[in-house]
Amino acid sequence: MKRVVAQGTFDLLHPGHVHYLREAKAMGEKLHVIVARSENVTHKQGPVIADAQRVEMVDALKPVDEARPGHTEDIFAPIEEIEPDVIALGHDQHHEEAAIAEELQRRGIDCEVCRASPYEPDEEMVLSSRQIADRIVSHRS
């Protein structure tokens, strides 16, 4: 069975998240999703939604076979446990494929690193958790 790992913050779910997870699932038979812990989100503003709630919401999505929180200190620890065949990155995630592949090789993890395609929304869709939060504030002010 071909195992795929996807990862992300998944704060305020939107159609871009679903697109990413559907593509990740299509790369194999079983999709494991690692949901970043709030304390590890340092490349952007931290999530609004608590860790456990984000894991529960992602786990409920149809393409996802298992969702779990990320490790507090070593982001590769869950990957070592899952032993995936593929790591699927979101099209706009800040991770560098070459750096991930190098660390996987250093740890003896043999898997492919792929990047999902961008999602092309219609003009009404908002595909950013920050934009969703901003829209809520502007509509409620």
Q: Which residues does the annotation place in the binding site for ATP?
A: 9-10, 14-17, 92, 119
Give the burial string for 112-140 (b: 16+ CB within 10 Å, else e).
Answer: ebebbeebeeeeeebbebeebeeeeeeee
Residue among 1, 104, 2, 82 at smallest CA distance from 34 = 82
Residue 97: how many CB atoms within 10 A of its CB? Answer: 14
Residues making up the annotated binding site are 9-10, 14-17, 92, 119
